[in-house]
């Protein structure tokens, strides 16, 4: 196949396009082939039509001259004096077509839709931003080389010239992040494909092709028989898979970003649940780690816009950054930043379904970083304990242990992935029913989603679980999951009940009391054996060395009581008003009431020194004893 691009004037070429003999022609000569300097075939532009770029998809032979596949520049070299101009030919790169001009809805972010043939002969497309042509274009060449394009090193400037040749007539709209192309909901953009009845009018445009997250392997039938089938009877796994389908549904029912945070000890199966959820959209590379900065999170959230953002193990994130990350995830807005000229750059926006895991709750992690949890943050990521009958599981199917069941799920997630999400989108983009919000309201009206006492945070949490239920039921109605009708609703109801149970009831849910107990208990858990020592040891010279001491401990009943120094307790309660926090701890019986002098700190003599210490009793908490970490 031969494709001719638009011709240019001699002035456009002169001084910019190299005129050396192509590698392909030299190779033909070395093989004994005859190379014509003036091809006469109509497939090759005549002298009067030059300079012109030509794209050859296959080898051709013209007048005993062989031309390898790729982009060719056919030009004319001006002779000296009365010497006539002579034809030239230059091989630029392997086959690369310019199919369309791309631009966003605001007539900005121009680019070119490229169709590329890799070294292995596979065709692929990439919407290249035009700003990659600035400077020496090294970043552009790096991306093309990574996609399998072969480039003549001496033709780098000619390649840039070809990409800026006369623009094609075809125009399509570029989208700079994954998700819905517009509010018509008829096209959904992924890095490597656009899905929906209006797919031909859009393209994903990025400086990096970056499709390693949204990959496919195995089959949809294999995923249904494996991951989806094993989820039946396991509400936490059904809930996690529903969260994966919820991303594209958020915009359809005008719901906000957010999701659930699975809490559990190591080896409970919570990471397996998140890997199973990722299999809806992609393979092992789809999962993200909490170990990221808020700046890096913006790019990740944009890549998973209208999709699932899976964040594993919150302990890997700096506790001081967790609060900002949670707020940004729920708010769906990045930071305002200045461009190179000092003007404000466009703020990045996104809407994602978030599935997170960790051994600690969001609130506990934030208070460890010295931040108080605001009401809005607590309902953006809802803590759900991952403690069921067998770790995170209720039904083991044919397996004899929770570990064996988790291992089977991991194998399934690594074998069949990526098909369920794309099949779901094929159906969703063609579902033009405007009653998504009505369907959500119908689920919210069910008794199992009613907030106890009508409390505000519980209502918002109930709505979030109802969105997950709606997404799971839609996937079932589209024939994606193979579940019976109502399976996703039951799982979401279990999740909502677990969240309410974890909070300890409505009366304490909105107070900061639970946070105060959590942060004190967490401080003791982290530093109990390193910054405290036995007060009854007596001989400090022979007791273990304690650095940065926060206090002492003594045996009391079935556990320990901790004798905090003032500085140690203030450190533990960082982020809270100290006096009010002491009142709260006293109300819960965790700290002694003031003495006759009106102070809670008691004078004690330890190692010959007189000290004022606060006694904290760890066997009493503010309804947080059931917190499954």
Q: What is the pLDDT of residues 136-161, one digit of tens each?
A: 999 999 999 999 999 999 999 999 99
What's the distance, Cα to Cα, between the start and end of the chain in Å? Answer: 63
8 A C-beta contact, residue 329 and residue 310: no
Q: What is the full DSSP assignment across 467-504?
A: HHHHHHHHHHHTTSS-PPTTHHHHHHHHHHHHHHHHHT
Distance CA 23, CA 61 (A): 16
Strands ordered across the beta sheet of 52-56 = 2-7, 52-56, 70-77, 86-93
- We find that the CATH architecture of domain 220-338+347-434 is 3-Layer(aba) Sandwich (3.40)
Distance CA 518, CA 478 (A): 43
Specify the domain boundaries for CATH 3.40.50 within the chain: 220-338+347-434
What per-residue confidence (pLDDT) applies to 81? 83
Q: Specify the pairing of strand 559-564 against strand 65-67.
A: unpaired
Using 70 as the pLDDT threshold, list the residues of the chain that sit under it: 1-42, 209-211, 292-295, 334-346, 375-376, 453-455, 504-512, 538-544, 619-629
CA distances 328 to 119, 400, 604, Å, are 42, 42, 47
The packing angle between helices 487-503 and 456-477, to 10°, is 160
Four-CA torsion 290, 292, 293, 299, nearest 10 degrees: -100
If one counts every other C-beta atom within 10 angstroms of the C-beta of residue 164, the result is 12
Task: Report residue 453 as tokens.
Answer: 């006492």
CA angle at residue 580 from 579 to 583, to 5 degrees?
90
What per-residue confidence (pLDDT) applies to 453? 62
8 A C-beta contact, residue 257 and residue 302: no
Distance CA 387, CA 236 (A): 9
What per-residue confidence (pLDDT) applies to 538? 57
Q: Specify the pairing of strand 308-312 against strand 551-556.
A: unpaired
Distance CA 428, CA 252 (A): 10
For 498-542, give the secondary structure using H, E and C: HHHHHHCCHHHHCCCHHHHHHHHHHHHHHHCCCCEEECCCCCHHH
pTM to 2 decimal places = 0.76
Place of tokens 């995170």: 392
Q: How far is CA 271 from the centre of its chain?
A: 15
């Amino acid at each position: 196949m031969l494709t001719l691009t638009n011709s240019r004037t001699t002035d456009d070429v002169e001084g910019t396009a190299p005129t050396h003999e192509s590698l392909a022609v030299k190779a033909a000569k070395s093989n004994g082939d005859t190379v014509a300097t003036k091809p006469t075939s109509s497939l090759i532009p005549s002298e009067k039509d030059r300079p012109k770029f030509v794209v050859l998809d296959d080898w051709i032979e013209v007048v005993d001259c062989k031309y390898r596949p790729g982009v060719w520049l056919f030009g004319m070299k001006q002779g000296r004096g009365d010497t006539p101009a002579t034809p030239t030919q230059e091989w630029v790169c392997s086959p690369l077509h310019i199919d369309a001009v791309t631009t966003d809805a605001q007539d900005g972010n121009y680019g070119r839709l490229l169709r590329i043939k890799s070294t292995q002969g596979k065709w692929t497309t990439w919407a290249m931003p035009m700003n990659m042509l600035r400077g020496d274009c090294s970043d552009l060449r790096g991306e093309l080389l990574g996609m399998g394009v072969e480039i003549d090193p001496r033709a780098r400037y000619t390649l840039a010239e070809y990409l800026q040749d006369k623009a094609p007539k075809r125009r399509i709209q570029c989208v700079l992040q994954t998700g819905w192309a517009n509010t018509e909901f008829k096209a959904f953009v992924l890095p490597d494909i656009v899905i929906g009845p209006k797919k031909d009018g859009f393209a994903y445009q990025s400086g990096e092709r970056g499709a390693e997250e949204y990959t496919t392997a195995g089959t949809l039938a294999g995923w249904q028989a494996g991951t989806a089938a094993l989820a039946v009877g396991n509400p936490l796994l059904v809930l996690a898979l529903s969260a994966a389908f919820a991303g594209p549904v958020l915009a359809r029912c005008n719901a906000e970003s957010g999701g659930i945070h699975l809490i559990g000890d190591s080896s409970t199966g919570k990471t397996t649940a998140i890997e199973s959820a990722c299999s809806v959209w992609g393979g092992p590379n789809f999962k993200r780690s909490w170990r990221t900065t808020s700046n890096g999170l913006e790019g990740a959230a944009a890549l998973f816009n209208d999709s699932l953002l899976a964040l594993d193990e919150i302990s890997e994130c700096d506790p001081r950054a967790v609060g900002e990350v949670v707020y940004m995830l729920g708010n769906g807005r990045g930071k305002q930043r200045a461009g190179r000229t000092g003007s404000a750059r466009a703020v990045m926006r996104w809407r994602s379904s978030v599935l997170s895991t960790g051994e600690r709750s969001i609130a506990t992690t934030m208070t460890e970083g010295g931040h108080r949890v605001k009401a809005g943050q607590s309902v953006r990521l809802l803590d759900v304990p991952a403690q069921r009958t067998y770790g995170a599981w209720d039904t083991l199917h044919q397996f004899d242990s929770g570990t064996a069941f988790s291992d089977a799920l991991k194998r399934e997630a690594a074998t069949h992935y990526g098909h369920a999400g794309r099949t779901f989108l094929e159906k969703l983009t063609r579902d033009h029913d405007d009653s998504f919000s009505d369907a959500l309201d119908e689920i919210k009206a069910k008794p199992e989603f009613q907030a106890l006492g009508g409390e505000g945070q519980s209502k918002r949490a109930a709505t979030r679980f109802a969105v997950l239920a709606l997404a799971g039921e839609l996937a079932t109605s589209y024939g994606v999951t193979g579940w019976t009708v109502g399976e996703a609703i039951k799982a979401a109801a279990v999740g909502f009940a677990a969240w309410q149970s974890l909070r300890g009831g409505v009366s304490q849910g909105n107070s900061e009391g639970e946070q105060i107990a959590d942060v004190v208990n967490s401080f003791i858990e982290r530093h109990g054996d390193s910054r405290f020592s036995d007060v009854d040891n007596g001989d400090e010279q022979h007791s273990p060395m304690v650095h940065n001491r926060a206090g002492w401990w003594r045996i009391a009943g079935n556990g320990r009581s901790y004798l905090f120094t003032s500085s140690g307790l203030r450190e533990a309660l960082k982020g809270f008003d100290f006096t009010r926090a002491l009142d709260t701890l006293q109300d819960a019986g965790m700290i002694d009431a003031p003495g006759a002098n009106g102070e809670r700190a008691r004078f004690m003599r330890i190692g010959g020194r007189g000290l004022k210490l606060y006694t904290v009793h760890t066997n009493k908490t503010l309804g947080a004893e059931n917190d499954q970490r």
